[in-house]
Chains A and B, each alone.
Chain A
Amino acid sequence: MARWGMAIDLVRCLGCQACVIACKQDHNIPSGVNWCRVITGEIGTYPIAKLESWPVLCNHCYEPKCVNACPTGASAHREDGVVTIDYDKCVGCRYCLIACPYQARTYLSKFEQYFPGQGWLPSEEIAGKTYQTGVVVKCTFCTERLEAGQKKGLNPGVDREATPACVNICPAEARYFGDLDDPESNISRLIVERGGIQNHPEYGTDPSVYYLR
């Protein structure tokens, strides 16, 4: 079984936020919630200063704290490495949200309009049917795309139809997706060649998202 993972090239990332928008559009994510974020910060001081961007999302850890914290089994770690949430099982205790050291989860307390007082957008109406209030939400690694693509015999990370939206949209091709367990996959080779690093490896969670510098 594959272990899906992502590598993000920090040198290539422009900080354009296209991945944030693609994620929002693809999943009809409600207002106030972001599964994918890009932090843009300044390093150094003038005249020796530069901007750097650092995209973050759920790390789909191999040893996820959130899954161990969940009292109902709503948060689960699939065989392919993807960490999912079953909204129907979630009681809304938010222990997973607290336990995630990457703060990658959000509690959806209520639906808010993107444009208050101007009615619900079509995407917001879909969100109302897709999500529930009183539960925790987070990045899914676009599992629906992965599964649908694999059923068609496509290869996630290679074929766009089977690859997460944030990877497809990136104009700088800074995101790579693939099987971390396959040493011959593009992502595995990149991680080895470029010395890919995980965010806060000291937590012992073994994230599936790597950063390339």
Chain B
Amino acid sequence: MKPYEWMVTYTPQTEWVEHRGILLWLAFFFIELGAGTFLISSLFDNLPGMLTGWLICAVLGGGAHLIYLGHPLRFWRIFISSGWKTSWISRGMYFVTLFLLLGIIYLILGSQANQAVPLLVATNIMAFLVIIYGGFAMNFVNGIPLWNTAILPILYVVSGLWGGAGLTLVITMAAGATKIGMAVEEWTRLLLVGFIILLAVYLVSIRYGSSAGKISVREMVRGKWAPLLWIMVIALGIVLPLGVVISSYTAGLTAIPVALLYIAVFFELTGDLAMRYLILKCGFYNPLVPVHL
């Protein structure tokens, strides 16, 4: 790249996806997956699933988030500033902290008491906010048209819940709770259909929304990162789980080999991870200086 070429051409953002930026990609994924697993598991009163979700969010998500920071030991400054009024990262830290606090209280104390419903409702509200804040944090960046769309937070909510439902399905089936597994599987069907529709609407709307958006989508669909989209996201992440879902719908969940179910959920999660990578990697800025220069 020639000196300053990045200022007159469409250039991808790198800080949130390259070098230590990889940690942020993982942090967003694990935080939303953990919260989604907790939320879906709680609907079926599945304590192992809730605990798993909590641990994923706290250890993998929170850990990656902290290590990513240039000065991790200063993270407490987020809580003493008024940044939450405008900053989605600040709000996200509050949501995650409250979710983890309320979640652990529920898991230790509340799950054994009969009057724990308000606590669980509060925890689930926080879990939902944890799932959605990453989408809003990216939506705020108006220099990158791929991110600056209202569909992104909704897409992240659906993918977070979908991943959570998949993980909950694995946990319930592994525990031999087939009846609950069947109920969870119905959720995954709905969320999978929702995810497919939203992803298609998202890509089409971005493609025709702006020139930078067009370049972002072209990079995903036909460019350097096309194999990741078509193989990891579409073929393995969507088509394979869709085949399993259709089979279970027609033949029943018990007719599906458990190993195949696990494989489908594994690829569902890796497909989700790949989609998030693509959205970060193909986030192109508009040129800084007008094109006529």
Q: What residues make up the interface of A, taking CB atoms closer than 8 Å to B?
A: 37-41, 43, 52, 54, 56, 65, 67-74, 89-95, 97-103, 107, 109, 133-135, 199-200, 203-204
Contacts and interface: CB of A to CB of B under 8 A. Distances in A.
Contact of B7 (A65, A73, A95, A103): A103
A95 B88 CA distance: 9
Interface in B250-293: 285-286, 288-289, 292-293
B75 interface: yes
Given A37-B4, A94-B15, A200-B286, A71 B93 contact: yes
A71 B288 contact: no
Contacts of B70: 90-94, 107, 109, 133-135
Contacts of B90: 71-72
Which 8 pairs of residues, A with B, have the shortest CB-CB distance?
A92-B70, A134-B70, A101-B143, A71-B90, A73-B81, A68-B86, A71-B83, A72-B77
B224 interface: no
B78 interface: yes
Contacts of A37: 4, 7
Interface residues of B, number: 41
A52 B289 CA distance: 12
B187 interface: no
A71 B71 contact: no
Interface of B: 4, 6-8, 11, 13, 15-16, 19, 21, 68-72, 74-75, 77-78, 81-84, 86-90, 93, 137, 140-144, 285-286, 288-289, 292-293
B contact face: mostly helix, strand, loop, or mixed: loop
Given A91-B70, A135-B70, A101 B285 contact: yes
Contacts of B68: 93
A65 B93 CA distance: 19
Contacts of B137: 95
Contacts of B7: 37, 39, 56, 103
B93 A94 contact: no
B289 A99 contact: no
B86 A101 contact: no
Nearest to A134: B70
A70 B288 contact: no
Contacts of B77: 72-74, 89, 91
14 contacts: A39-B8, A41-B8, A54-B293, A65-B140, A67-B86, A69-B86, A71-B84, A72-B83, A91-B70, A93-B70, A103-B285, A109-B19, A109-B70, A200-B286
Nearest to B74: A91
A131 B285 CA distance: 28
Given A72-B81, A91-B77, 20 more contacts: A37-B7, A39-B4, A39-B8, A68-B87, A68-B140, A69-B87, A71-B84, A71-B87, A72-B83, A90-B74, A93-B68, A94-B70, A98-B15, A99-B143, A101-B285, A103-B288, A133-B70, A199-B288, A203-B142, A204-B142
A94 B16 contact: yes
Contacts of B86: 67-69
A38 B8 CA distance: 12
Nearest to B285: A103
B89 A95 contact: yes
A88 to B, nearest CB: 8
Contacts of B4: 37-40
Contacts of B72: 91
Contacts of A41: 8, 289, 293
B287 to A, nearest CB: 9
A55 to B, nearest CB: 10
A101 B142 contact: yes
B76 to A, nearest CB: 9
Contact of A107 (B15, B83, B84): B15
